Amino acid sequence: MGLPTKDATVALVTAQIVSVNKAFDVSRHYLWPVPQKERDLNPSLTQNPGW
């Protein structure tokens, strides 16, 4: 699979797109990390597990 595009000479070329298989990690992907800025504003906040 590729993406049609034009090169410097305006010729139509196909750029190859590399696909990455991403896996869902149950131990950390249900919760997002708490931004450090928010943790600095409120010292009572802790980081979510896995982050």
Task: Give the model confidence (pLDDT) of 20-43 as tens digits.
Answer: 888 888 887 889 899 999 999 999
pLDDT given at position 35 = 96
pLDDT given at position 2 = 61
Q: What is each CA distance from 28 to 15, 24, 31, 48, in whole angstroms?
A: 34, 9, 6, 8
Closest by Cα among 34, 35, 31, 4 to 17: 4
The DSSP string of the chain is -EEEEE-TT--EEEEE---------TTTSSSPPPPHHHHHH-TT--PPTT-
pLDDT above 70 covers a percentage of the chain that reads 82
Higher-pLDDT residue of 8 and 20 is 20
Kindly report whether the global pTM for this prediction surpasses the value 0.85.
no
